Amino acid sequence: MTHRPLKHRVMAGFTLIELVMVMILVGVTAALGVGLFTGRSAFSPLLAAQQLASATTLAQQAALAGNPANTLTIAETNDVFRFTVGAATGHPRVFEIAREGASLAVAGGLPHTLTFNPSGAPAGGGNTQFTVSGQSNYPICLSSLGAVYPGTCQP
């Protein structure tokens, strides 16, 4: 009688300890991550800054097209930031975003109206510095040439 050697079985899968550790890591990550997404307050200043840049670009494009909606009025209430493009026209475009504790600062205070000339530059000339504040600060510059960019205005 010949004996055949026993073949070693290859075990594939995860051990119980590995599975428990993965479950613990997923639980900790979920517990920490939920706090980031429960409210928009952490993102409110960033969203307001982006909405301001977008509304400014829309008013500039209207000015470049010869459209009378070449103004942007920026205002805030207790609850919202309001950006109105072409307020004096029959069809103004109004964009609102919840403030959720954020504030918007500009020289001269709010409400603030910008008018753009046919080349898309601010009619008053000079740079305009905006700062949206909340849990973080988001500065936005409108340059004298009409460029809108995040950051502080350069002289």
How deeply is 29 buried, as exposed, middle or buried, from its count of CB atoms within 10 A (0-12, 13-18, 19+)? exposed
In the numeric block, which tokens belong to residue 86? 């072409």
pTM above 0.85, yes or no: no
- Averages of pLDDT over runs of 10 residues in the chain (155 residues) are 64 79 82 61 76 90 89 92 90 89 90 92 91 90 92 89
Assigned superfamily of 16-148: minor pseudopilin epsh domain (3.55.40.10)
Cis-peptide into 155, omega within 30 deg: no
Strand ranges across the sheet with 112-115: 93-98, 80-85, 71-76, 112-115
Q: What are the φ and ψ backbone dihedral angles of 23, each rounded to 5 degrees?
A: -65, -40
